[in-house]
Amino acid sequence: MKTMSARATRASSSQKSMAVASAHPLASAAGLKVLKKGGNAVDAAVATSLALGVVAPAFSGIGGGGFFLVHLRGEETLYIDYREVAPRASRPDMFELDEEGEPIDFASSMGHRAVGVPGTVAGLTHALENYGRLKFSDVASYAIDYARKGFAVSRFLGYIISNNVDNASQKLRRFPETGRTWLRQGRTYRTGERKLSKDLADSLELIGREGRDAFYSGPLATAIAGEISKKGGEMDGSDLAQYSVEVRKPVTGSYRGLEIHTMPPPSMGGLAMLQLLNIFENMDLGSMRLNTAESIAAMAKGLAVVWPVLRREVADPESHAIDLERLSSKEYAARLWFSRGERGVSRGRDAGSQTTHLSVIDREGSVAAITESIECYFGSGVTAPGTGFCLNDTMHDFDPQPGAPNSIAPGKRPLSNMAPTLLLRDGEPYLVAGSAGGPRIVTATLQTILNVVDHSLDLQRAVDAPRIHYQGAGAIKMESRIGAAVRKGLMDMGFRSETPNYVQLKPGYDVYFGGVNAVMAGPRGAPRGAADPRRQGGVAVG
């Protein structure tokens, strides 16, 4: 049954146009078409998500999970948590560890035991049924069209396919069904070649006809559970049948007169964002200027303070008590800074995660945003025969050692950095942003916000600006566009810096530094959208 908000007629508003920003132009176009056909921001977000699962399947899809920010005009912000959960047969010590404490033979990040119970279909159908206007079959039609008729493989996707054939894991060759799905007669797809995904089109059409039950207790559940159990994985059909979403309230704060709504646990990304903004509110970052040695050092010290605290204190709220009021308060951030901030050094692990983010604003001023993932590129590498989509490797997001807040437990949601974030001005949506990239989700989204609010950049320039990443250990990672004089200044302050050498789809813009896709309510009802060139994102405005 639809909620009152979803049934309500369109509110009068100065907002006259709409925007969708995502990691692929075809996905953004699908979202805009839904808006033009009378759908709201939620409908458009679901359409965009499903399309991304077709045209950018290495990062997200219906075999994964995520977080969905919903803010219908005049209503409270909420988050739909459809993060994957550990199967009921999981144990804290289920993975054999090497001498460095990591699972042997990629066991938590590749293969059948790495798969958590997928949540995407449950989350997207819940959003449509409670906050949207359209049916799943309506919003899925664009993704189905891309899958059945084919789409041109992007340079980024082509690189990821090639890398997962030629790297040490050889993921796309190790799992024959996934290789059949994502290789062309045994070779990698070239940039621009058309890729059809007929099995995935069939799966999406089945969900459109039969609803979420097709995935959690019907034919798709049978295929998934059969594949996992046949190859020694922990997940079975009852895990799928018992999966449920959680609807959560945001953690909230303020920054320079703007109200912040961001993702609560089991993500620590939202709390990290709030703590950092609380620290930076007491600094004049604008006068320090963008990407100077002084402003980068200030950010690095703040990041060094926040990461270790949140790793100790945040996990699935159903299994771990979390004092959200304390952790999100300005007083707590001030105590952290004054007790530790000048040291700027801590221990941190720069773990990877391949995600996607999309942001939508509709003509009424309602907004929606989704950050979702299948964890590593192409997830676990496992594809159930005939389904057309990879299953996640979200067990990799747990701490593989027993006794930690984020250790594995049956039915538990793992810790995340995902943080779809909304800024409001005078109660109205102002900026919606989020990113891909594991721990870089926080730093990329944060820098975009600071670039808009403190450095007065327009939205696309705020997304484009050179980024840094730091977790308090080792060198500050910087994009190559940050010059030698800044690096020397940081060295004089006691910091080391380095430039990661990942892929650059545009010179000077490194995939390592995330993929921010954002929308912003503009003056006189003209929204703006910005997509990250680091991952060949696209914006559709109408």
What does the DSSP assignment read for 430-455?
Answer: EEEE---STTHHHHHHHHHHHHHHTT
Q: Confirm if 86 and 414 have CB atoms less than 8 A apart.
A: yes
Tokens linked to 417 = 């950095």
Q: What is the rounded average pLDDT of the residues 316-323?
A: 93
**Would you say residue 225 has pLDDT above 70?**
yes
Confidence bin at 524 (pLDDT 50/70/90):
low
What distance in Å separates the CA atoms of residue 417 and residue 119, rounded to the nearest whole number?
A: 17
* CA 242/CA 90 separation, integer angstroms: 15
Residue ranges per structural domain of the chain: 4-11+24-247+379-396, 249-353+417-541
- pLDDT band at residue 364, thresholds of 50, 70 and 90? very high
- pLDDT tier at 1, thresholds 50, 70, 90: very low
Bigger pLDDT: 213 vs 354? 213
Could you tell me if 358 and 22 are in contact, meaning their C-beta atoms sit under 8 angstroms apart?
Answer: yes
- Produce one character per residue of 359-380: b if its CB has 16 or more CB atoms within 10 Å, e if not: bbbbbbbbbbbbbbbbbbbbbb
Q: Using CB atoms within 10 A of its CB, is residue 218 exposed (0-12), middle (13-18) or buried (19+)?
A: middle
Query: How is 73-103 classified by DSSP, letter by letter?
Result: TTS--EEEE---B--TT--TT-S-B-TTS-B
Whether the predicted pLDDT of 81 surpasses 60: yes
The answer on pLDDT for 350 being more than 50 is no
Q: Please give the pLDDT value at position 169.
A: 65
pLDDT at res. 340: 59
Which of 37-46, 238-247, 248-257, 521-530 is the least confident region? 521-530
Specify which residues 506 forms β-bridges with. 509
491 phi/psi in degrees, rounded to 5:
-60, -40
For residues 323-335, average pLDDT = 93
Query: 525 — alpha (psi -120 to 50), left (phi > 0) or beta?
Result: left
- Which are the catalytic amino acids? 355
- pLDDT higher than threshold 70 for residue 408: yes
215: Cβ contacts below 8 Å, ≥ 6 apart: 62, 118, 121, 122, 207, 221, 240
- At residue 9, the pLDDT reads 36
* Helix (H), strand (E) at residue 476: strand 476-478
**Averaged pLDDT score across all residues of the chain:** 92
Mean pLDDT, residues 495-502 taken together:
92
**Is the per-residue pLDDT at 119 higher than 70?**
yes
pLDDT of residue 168: 54
Residue 375 binned pLDDT confidence (cut-offs 50, 70, 90): very high
Number of H helices, E strands in the chain: 20, 20
Say how many C-beta atoms besides its own lie within 10 A of residue 207's C-beta.
23
Residues 6+ apart with CB under 8 A from 379: 61, 63, 64, 115, 390, 391, 392, 393
Please tell me the class of the 249-353+417-541 domain.
alpha beta
The DSSP annotation for 211-257 comes to TTHHHHTSHHHHHHHHHHHHTT-S--HHHHHT---EEEPPEEEEETT
Weakest-pLDDT range from 42-56, 111-125, 159-173, 344-358: 344-358
Give me the mean pLDDT over the 350-374 stretch: 88
Q: Output the pLDDT for position 164.
A: 78
472-484 pLDDT tens trace: 888 999 999 999 9
CA angle 498, 400, 234 (to 5 degrees): 130
pLDDT at 91: 97
Task: Quote the CA–CA distance of 352 and 218 in Å, as a whole number.
Answer: 33
Is the pLDDT reported for residue 171 higher than 50? yes
Residue count of the chain, please give it: 542
Q: How confident is the model at residue 342 (pLDDT cuts 50, 70, 90)?
A: very low
Residue 203 contacts residue 62 (beta carbons within 8 Å)? yes
Q: Any residues with CB less than 8 A from the CB of 253 and at least 6 apart, and which?
A: 259, 260, 262, 274, 277, 278, 328, 330
Listed residue (419, 397, 424) closest to 408, CA to CA:
397
* Least confident residue range of 71-80, 169-178, 523-532: 523-532
Report DSSP state, residue 475. Answer: P
The span from the CA of 268 to the CA of 162, in Å, is: 32
Position 435 pLDDT exceeds 50: yes
Smallest Cα–Cα separation from 178: which of 115, 93, 242, 127? Answer: 115
Which pLDDT band, with edges at 50, 70 and 90, does 243 fall under? very high
Least confident stretch, 7-21, 255-269, 500-514: 7-21
